[in-house]
Amino acid sequence: MAAADSPSAALRRRDLCSRGIRLAGKMRSDVVDLLDTYVEWQGLDASASVAAVEGVPAAAAERWDEQTGTQRLLENLAAYRAFRALLAQMLEEQREQLGEADTVLGRALAAVLLQVSAFAYHLEELLRLESRGPPSEEGAGPPPLPHLSLFERKLRGLGVLRELAQWAVRSARDLRQLAKPSPGSSSAPSPAESP
Amino acid sequence: QNLKCLTHNLRKMICTWDVSSKGRHGQTDFCYTTNDLLPAVCLKTKEKRVEIPVPESSATVTITTNSISGTAFATKEFEIHKTDISFVPLTPRILSLTPDFSTSTLNLKWIDNGSVFPYGLDAFWQIQILRKEVMEKVTQVTYYSKLTHEDIILSWNWRSDMPLECTSHYVKIRCYINVTQFVGPKDWSDWSPVEEVPGKDTEPNVSGVFPQDTVVAVGSDVTICCVHQEGRQIKQMKYEREIYPMIHLSSRSSAIRVLNASASHASGTNVVCELSEGDMDGTVLFVGYAPDIPQNLSCETSNFLIIKCTWKPGRPSGLYGERKTKYSLFERISVKNVSCEVNEMNRERACDFPVLADQKTYDFLLGVSNPIGRTESSLLVDLNQRVHPKAPEKLTVSGNSSTSIHLHWFINGSFAEIRLLCQIEISSGHSERKWHNVSMPGGKFSTYTAQLNTLHPYTKYQFRVRCAAADHFWRWSDWSRIEEHTTLEA
């Protein structure tokens, strides 16, 4: 973090981090459930390989250990803002394609979207503890969606949810890293450590 | 030798012949006469063909072949009878071959050259469709038309059983004209040059699975193809989760044929094309039903402001979202059309239509359509005979006597043009329930009143009321809420 914390700020940050870790854990299990529902509802093969989806930030981070707390928060925030927009697009497409017939998947998608929005807000709270605060969202929306066929959209959705599940894992680890008392953190856990 | 004469238009004929002797020779003198009384007409030609008028009955032809220096070295006379002249129509000219990819339909337009022939001749057109890289014949159809002594553009559609994107389609055409009074041999024209509609497998860097996101009827046989880039291979093609045998179309396109497709679930049936290097492409097929004819269509009004039509949808179409069945209500007299917002999951469907000023009769046509088909149901309604009021509201009871009371209630709606029949239900603890009917002129968003006499003193009563149209009874409204009242002591 940028400067040594006052005791109350450190306490506040640790509290936000631990709540964030719980939120990330819950989100991950919900996303995994959603993935099962999505694959079944969309008639996809669970093992289908999906190319990297444009506009979806990759959860795998190079030199994860060397990132500062602010970098972690900023990357996380950018990711969840992107996921918020992507999930909203998916929900819109879902309603357009299925209308009233879609109850199960639509509700599950909406629930995860709510969690992603909440988590993004949570990250903004953490960034507010920093002197700089969260970056504004103008012009930060997702790239315009290229015209995709329905099958491509189905695969894209699968890619988005898989990446989101990965991000939930990474976020928990990032927040654990942040929760460690500053200044500077002790040796960080290796990326392979599961939440 | 071998003098042959052939006509394309019954007026002029083209005669051709062979020359037996080898070696070089000069011009040929071609003389013909169609009547011994007339002098012969002679033509000089280097070709071994000339065009001359078709004779009325027969013609005598003398062909003299000259040497290079111009001296005649061979002469031969021929007698051409009308029966020797064959008639072969000109090769038809294709004007356009237009694909409609959305319906996999080819539209062929050509000119019938009718102006060349007398009025009323029967013409037969053989149209051949070929497909794939190897130009395999798919079908041959004979189309019939009548010539009208004018050049008419003829048009013909052919719906492919395979998306036109899958591979190139080719069309050629030839014709036969049945000139009954022509006594010589008649034959088909030559085939026209082939017209092509190139498939996506001929466009560089284009790939995809076709048809893209389309809707078909349950029970259809569907061909789905996978077009891939040069150098790629298709490992397998799956329909839903079943691997299908592949049909080779070209080096960049293969297809599968699904027979008797069954209904897909809401998000459609995936068709997946697994390619080399782990790539995958696909499409989504929506297999559903054409809309059923709406059952029990019924229309009524509860307030003379809105007419509510309801119906039973019949078999679900299995199509949702932007492909779902759409309903519209068209009223023939006012020519007014209303589109209906309908929830596919509700068993009963409803649609509102505004009551129109000064119109009592409504001739409704409920139109139902989805991407697979269309149907309709109609109903003629006299609105005065279809009044189904809402339940009376704000029922109040007042009374300052021991044996009579006044009831007041409000009905939401504009009933000024009809009489209302209202039924008051009277019940009290120990005695039997009684009903009292009263009719009154309808009002506009009015409160109505009725008086009840011959009640028992000092007795606790429960009252409720319902109403209907008096003159043309259709349906009772629901009952109002119950209102209690105790009569005064005697």
Q: What is the CATH number of the domain that holds A34?
A: 1.20.1250.10
To the nearest whole Å, the CA of A169 is away from the closest chain B CA by: 27
Predicted confidence at residue A140, as pLDDT, reads 59
pLDDT of residue A143 exceeding 80, the answer is no
* Rounded distance between C-alpha atoms, residue B46 and residue B44, angstroms: 7
A102 reaches B (C-beta below 8 A): yes
Q: What percent of chain A has pLDDT over 70?
A: 84
- Over the stretch B24-76, which tens digit does the pLDDT of each residue have? 677 888 888 887 667 788 888 888 889 998 888 888 888 888 877 777 778 88
B30 φ/ψ sector (left φ>0, alpha ψ -120 to 50, else beta): beta
CA dihedral sign, ordered B174, B176, B182, B183 = positive
To the nearest whole Å, the CA of A40 is away from the closest chain B CA by: 10
Predicted TM-score (pTM) above 0.90: no
Residue A25 lies in a domain: yes
- Over the stretch B372-396, which tens digit does the pLDDT of each residue have? 999 999 999 999 999 999 999 999 9
CB contact under 8 A, A97 and B321: yes
Residue A122 lies in a domain: yes
Please give the mean pLDDT across all residues of chain B: 92
Residue B106: pLDDT band (50, 70, 90) is very high
Exposure of A184 by Cβ count < 10 A (0-12 exposed, 13-18 middle, 19+ buried)?
exposed
A88-102, B108-122, B303-317: segment of lowest average pLDDT = A88-102
Residue A68 lies in a domain: yes
* Rounded distance between C-alpha atoms, residue B450 and residue A97, angstroms: 55
Residue B347: pLDDT band (50, 70, 90) is low
Cα–Cα distances (Å) from B238 to A39, B105, B241, B244, in that order, read: 16, 26, 6, 6
Please give the mean pLDDT across all residues of chain A: 83
Q: Is the peptide bond before A191 cis (omega within 30 degrees of 0)?
A: no
Residue A78 lies in a domain: yes
Domain that includes residue A55, residue range: 14-133+164-179
Residues of chain B contacting A154 with CB distance shorter than 8 Å: 267, 270, 282, 284
Residue A5 lies in a domain: no
Cα–Cα distances (Å) from B288 to A11, B224, B260, B266, B403, in that order, read: 59, 17, 12, 10, 66
- Over the stretch B461-475, which tens digit does the pLDDT of each residue have? 999 999 999 999 999
Q: Strand pairing partners for B183?
A: none
CB contact under 8 A, B321 and A96: yes
Predicted confidence at residue A20, as pLDDT, reads 94
CB contact under 8 A, B284 and A154: yes
Residue A48 lies in a domain: yes
Residue A39 lies in a domain: yes
Report whether B150 contacts B117 (CB < 8 A).
Answer: no
The residue in chain A having the minimum alpha-carbon distance to the alpha carbon of residue B343 is A100
Residue A65: pLDDT band (50, 70, 90) is confident
Structure tokens, A82: 């992107």
Predicted confidence at residue A188, as pLDDT, reads 40
Residues of chain A contacting B345 with CB distance shorter than 8 Å: 100-101
Question: Which residues 6+ apart lie within 8 Å of A139 measured at CB?
Answer: none
| Mean pLDDT value across residues B107-123 | 92
Predicted confidence at residue B440, as pLDDT, reads 95
Structure tokens, B45: 């030609």
A88-97, A182-191, B244-253: segment of lowest average pLDDT = A182-191
Q: Which long-range contacts (CB under 8 A, 24 or more apart) does B351-358 make?
A: B351/B308, B351/B309, B351/B310, B351/B327, B352/B306, B352/B307, B352/B308, B352/B309, B353/B299, B353/B306, B353/B307, B353/B308, B353/B309, B353/B329, B354/B305, B354/B306, B354/B307, B355/B301, B355/B304, B355/B305, B355/B306, B355/B307, B355/B383, B356/B331
Predicted confidence at residue B23, as pLDDT, reads 62
Residues of chain A contacting B281 with CB distance shorter than 8 Å: 151
Predicted confidence at residue A63, as pLDDT, reads 78
Residue A145 lies in a domain: no
pLDDT of residue A194 exceeding 80, the answer is no
Considering its fold, how many domains does chain A have in total? 1
* Rounded distance between C-alpha atoms, residue B186 and residue B479, angstroms: 86
